Amino acid sequence: MSNVNPMPREEGLDHTLSLAREGYLYIPNRRHSFNSDIFETRLLGKKAICMGGTEAAELFYDEEKFMRQGAAPNRALQTLFGAKGVQTLDGPEHKRRKEMFMSLMSRERIEELIHLIRKEWESEVSKWEGMDQVILYKEVQEILCRAACQWAGVPIQENDIKERTKEFGSLFESVAAIGPNHWLGRAARNNVEKWIGELIEEVRNHNLKPLENTALHAFSWHRDLAGNLLDTEVVAVEVVNIIRPIIAISIFINFTALAIHQYPDKKAKIQSSDEKYTEMFVQEVRRFYPFFPFIAAKVKKDFIWKGYKFDVDTLTLLDLYGTNHDPTLWDNPGLFNPERFSKWKGGPFSFIPQGGGDYLTGHRCAGEWITVEVMKAVVDQLINKMEYRVPEQDVSFSLVSMPSIPASKFVINHVKRK
Ligand code: HEM
């Protein structure tokens, strides 16, 4: 064992409170002070490893070394993820389930979603023209809820939109909450899973016939490796795994609107450049602003990496926010600078707002292409299709509360179609 070195270690009994207090900066602060991309700490009463940077991300996505089963805390399963979803699976079972998701992500299907969102957006602009003020975050969530349900083959009545939007929103807004908001998130999950579960039963009884290439259809009839249909509850979790994150793009859209407002020179450049610059702008929004701070896995079997010992079952967190702001990977990472993406060489482990690695064989976000395309379409709507003013408001956002959203939820007024 002479080749094993002690890992830099945060002394003390437990640091869960520091994690809650420092939020997005908990891991980056310690990577900086230990001058190490890896350190040991104690979270939820147990030893845990935190790591960040390209090499750590590559290690984290090695499925021989890490597994997802048992890694997500119960409070995340009860709100954000749901039980027995794709996020909790490993190996061939995960690959089979992930294929089910990726089968929806063709260029044509993504274009259909963008078309639905643009249509909903344009009809909302007419409503916004008559409003004294528009709280963009709330309004955009309703647009995305309508479009996502339609895209997923899930019928929804117009008078249910507000309530369902709130429920889906609370699944990702309550994940780090304690007390009443956490319980609201749990109640919302029970409600939406029950509603979707009833629709799945209708599909299986042939009373409801969603289009074949929709999530509701594909997931209801998906078969696992043993050739069996999935339990209704699991299908419901996976359909929610499509609709909920599409609505969560509202967070990136709020930051997109904020960036357009705060960086008028970049806005002018979008207006005078081609689509390539819009894409660079959107990528910089995803790199610069906070969304998911980190992701969790457990060590699958004992191994040694760079002289550090990883013991089976140890909770390990990969620093997403810190990797996207790592000064060894990004020049002047605190600067909002879309131009950096003109020279960016790409790579699956350095730019990881939605996880890293491979889409099909690993856990990288199934909806990353959708997210980028939706954000690009929204930039076009905000800049080329409407005019608006941004009144005085508090647009500060926290690096502690998760997920982080600008305080005012971005208010606009004097909206006019162009
Ligand atoms: C709103 C912006 C989004 C962010 C910030 C985001 C972020 C993430 C992150 C960090 C992961 C975990 C990666 C990992 O565990 O290694 C993930 C997984 C996932 N995301 Fe997203 N996501 C977004 C949008 C979407 C969209 C639009 C969809 C689907 C339409 C989607 C579907 C999924 C699924 C199904 C997984 C699980 C993948 C797996 O475990 O194999 N996400 N996402």
Is the pLDDT score of 183 beyond 90? no
Ligand 1 atom at shortest distance from the alpha carbon of 286:
5
- pLDDT value for 138: 97
Distance separating alpha carbons of residues 216 and 205, to the nearest angstrom: 13
- pLDDT value for 180: 75
Q: Is 354 in the pocket of ligand 1 (CB under 6 A)?
A: yes
- pLDDT value for 75: 84
Q: Is 241 in the pocket of ligand 1 (CB under 6 A)?
A: yes
H or E segment at 218? Answer: helix 215-220
Q: Is the separation of the CB atoms in 256 and 378 below 8 Å?
A: yes
Distance separating alpha carbons of residues 254 and 276, to the nearest angstrom: 21
Say how many C-beta atoms besides its own lie within 10 A of residue 410's C-beta: 24
What distance, in Å, lies between the first and last C-alpha atoms of the chain?
69
Distance separating alpha carbons of residues 60 and 57, to the nearest angstrom: 5
Q: Is 85 in the pocket of ligand 1 (CB under 6 A)?
A: no
H or E segment at 371? Answer: helix 368-380
Ligand 1 centroid from CA 371, angstroms: 9
**Exposure b/e, 340-371, CB count within 10 A at least 16 = b:** bbeebeeebbbbbbbbbbebeebbbbbbebbb
Ligand 1 centroid from CA 131, angstroms: 34
Is the pLDDT score of 1 beyond 80? no
Ligand 1 centroid from CA 142, angstroms: 20
Residue ranges of the domains in the chain? Answer: 16-417
365 is in an annotated binding site: yes
Tell me the pLDDT band of 2, cut-offs 50, 70 and 90. low
ipTM greater than cut 0.95: yes
Encode pLDDT of 17-73 as tens digits. 999 999 999 999 999 999 999 999 999 999 999 999 999 999 999 999 999 999 998
Mutate which of 106, 288, 354 for ligand 1? The one with the most ligand atoms within 8 Å of its CB, which is: 354
Ligand 1 centroid from CA 319, angstroms: 15
- pLDDT value for 179: 76
Distance separating alpha carbons of residues 161 and 157, to the nearest angstrom: 7
Which residues 6+ apart lie within 8 Å of 190 measured at CB?
none
Alpha-carbon Rg for the chain, nearest whole angstrom, is 22
pLDDT, mean over the chain:
96
CATH architecture of 16-417: Orthogonal Bundle (1.10)
Distance separating alpha carbons of residues 69 and 355, to the nearest angstrom: 17
Ligand 1 centroid from CA 331, angstroms: 26
Q: Is 318 in the pocket of ligand 1 (CB under 6 A)?
A: no
Ligand 1 atom at shortest distance from the alpha carbon of 89:
40
Tell me the pLDDT band of 87, cut-offs 50, 70 and 90. very high
Q: Is 286 in the pocket of ligand 1 (CB under 6 A)?
A: no
Ligand 1 centroid from CA 133, angstroms: 32
Most distant CA pair in the chain, distance: 73
Ordered alpha helix ranges (H), 73-211? 74-76, 91-102, 107-129, 136-152, 161-173, 180-204
Q: Within 13 Å, how many C-alpha atoms sit on residue 203's CB side?
A: 26
Task: Please state at what angle helix 264-272 crosses helix 275-288, rounded to 10 degrees.
Answer: 150
Ligand 1 atom at shortest distance from the alpha carbon of 98:
41
Sign of the C-alpha dihedral, residues 16, 41, 348, 96? Answer: negative
Q: Is 98 in the pocket of ligand 1 (CB under 6 A)?
A: yes
Ligand 1 centroid from CA 366, angstroms: 5
The stretch 333-338 carries a mean pLDDT of 98
Tell me the pLDDT band of 182, cut-offs 50, 70 and 90. confident
Report residue 113 as tokens: 């979603």
Mutate which of 94, 102, 365 for ligand 1? The one with the most ligand atoms within 8 Å of its CB, which is: 365
